[in-house]
Amino acid sequence: MTCLLPGGFAAAGVASGIKPDGRLDLALVAVTTGPPATAAAVFTENLSVAAPVVLSRAHLLASDAQVRAVILNSGCANAATGDEGVRAAALMADTTARHLRAEPEQVLVCSTGPIGHQLPPRPLESGIPAACAALESSEEALARAARAIMTTDRREKLASASLASGPQVTGIAKGAGMIAPNMASATMLAVLMTDAIVSAPDLQAALDHAVDHTFNRLTIDGCMSTNDTVILLASGVSGIAAGAVELVEGVTVVCADLAHQMAADAEGGTKVVHVRVTGAADDASALKGARAVAESLLVKCSWYGEDPNWGRVVSALGAAGVLFDQSAVLVAYGPEVVCRDGMPVDFDHEVVASYLALPEFELNCDLGLGGGAAEILSADLTHAYVDENMGHS
């Protein structure tokens, strides 16, 4: 998959040797000429926070959100690494800045991989200059950058949208397991770029809205990560000041596309499921109910087995902590209603079975109480998920 790089940006992905098997493991996204980009970012809310997140937060403040580059590595999360880890993250920024003739605080850093291991210095010493030298304003270079941040991902993730006024929004991301609400995944990373002219506050507002409506409504296994980071850079090279509404829409479209790619690439997942709750007392209740269903292990196992076990859905909704009337609830797989007024419906088992055999489907729950509605994107719980996560760290 390829996507157009917005004006002003270049990208690179190289194999530095952090991953011992020689796969791409170091990515760089940079504005190589002119002034640095305006930047916005959303970081993990986990109190166990990795060194690169600590450093990037500080750099964003120190640079007044003026960012020259983002350097990202896979193969090591640089988390639970203490002061040595912070020094390693700072070294990544310093080395990148030196080769791009930028200030260190104009470089943001992201890491993903196993927790509790120090970053090996050698690969970074040779890899960062190589990545700076490999920077290209090409679709291929961006695709290599997307591949260089993969861990358990099976596919690289890129998405793009054009604003009505002309500028482009393009993003790369990684993330598969451990994706939970509130910017919380075993490392969900995304870097978005636009060539629109945007002020830092408008850029942050657009990113906050997009993250809240996309990545924060994706749950794979409910686990929160130490490293999650979403960064949005605006080069301004198009010369066009994007409208606030089109910017929010464009950034949200790209984030939604990337979130969907993550759901489709969930660790061990075989199904993408849209859990929709309507008829809730309010939108917040609908969201809470949808999340409870999407995070129920029993429900997730039933998706894997293509089993229309709506009893588990009703049970999860009843335990969600929201206004609920068991005699008013409706459950449908896509258009096929299996439970109405809290009671079994005599549904066509063949029709439901062939619907549940689809790789992507909707689980629709109506609480029959009000106008609140929300959707959570999720995946099934499978043997392969257990396989991927039981192994040695």
Q: Is 2 a residue that touches a copy of itself (CB under 8 A)? A: no
For a copy of itself, the binding residues in 86-145 under the rule CB under 8 A are 114-117
Q: Is 46 a residue that touches a copy of itself (CB under 8 A)? A: yes
Helix H, strand E, coil C: the string for 59-73 is HHHHCCCEECEEEEE
**Backbone phi and psi for residue 48, each to the nearest 5 degrees, phi listed first:** -85, 100
**Backbone phi and psi for residue 180, each to the nearest 5 degrees, phi listed first:** -140, 175
Residue from 67, 71, 93, 224 touching a copy of itself (CB under 8 A): that is 224
Q: Is 359 a residue that touches a copy of itself (CB under 8 A)? A: no
Residue ranges of alpha helices (H) inside 63-199 are 82-99, 121-133, 139-148
Nearer to a copy of itself, 360 or 387 (CB): 387
Q: Is 161 a residue that touches a copy of itself (CB under 8 A)? A: no
Q: Is 33 a residue that touches a copy of itself (CB under 8 A)? A: no
Residue from 101, 327, 346, 359 touching a copy of itself (CB under 8 A): that is 327
**Backbone phi and psi for residue 7, each to the nearest 5 degrees, phi listed first:** -55, 135
Alpha-carbon torsion 378, 381, 384, 389, what sign? positive
**Which of 80, 75, 107, 102 is CA-nearest to residue 91?**
107
Residue from 77, 108, 135, 150 touching a copy of itself (CB under 8 A): that is 77
Q: Is 354 a residue that touches a copy of itself (CB under 8 A)? A: no
Q: Catalytic annotation on 187?
A: yes
**Which of 9, 5, 19, 3 is CA-nearest to residue 148?**
19
Q: Is 315 a residue that touches a copy of itself (CB under 8 A)? A: yes
Residue from 3, 247, 262, 314 touching a copy of itself (CB under 8 A): that is 314
| Distance between CA atoms of residues 155 and 143, nearest Å | 11
Q: Is 357 a residue that touches a copy of itself (CB under 8 A)? A: no
| Distance between CA atoms of residues 133 and 135, nearest Å | 6
Sequence-separated (6 or more) residues with CB below 8 Å from residue 31 = 8, 9, 10, 37, 67, 68, 69, 233, 235
**Which of 261, 229, 237, 269 is CA-nearest to residue 56?**
229
Largest CA distance in the chain: 69
Tell me the site size for a copy of itself, rule CB under 8 A.
66
Nearer to a copy of itself, 203 or 332 (CB): 332
Helix, strand and coil in the chain, % to nearest 5:
35, 25, 40
Nearer to a copy of itself, 97 or 329 (CB): 329
Q: Is 358 a residue that touches a copy of itself (CB under 8 A)? A: no
The nearest distance, CB 376 to a copy of itself, in angstroms, is 16
For a copy of itself, the binding residues in 163-222 under the rule CB under 8 A are 177-178, 180, 184, 186, 221-222
The residue ranges that bind a copy of itself (CB under 8 A) are 45-49, 77, 79-82, 114-117, 177-178, 180, 184, 186, 221-226, 295-298, 301-302, 304-305, 307-312, 314-319, 324-327, 329, 339, 341-344, 381-383, 385-387, 389-393
Q: Which residues are catalytic?
A: 187
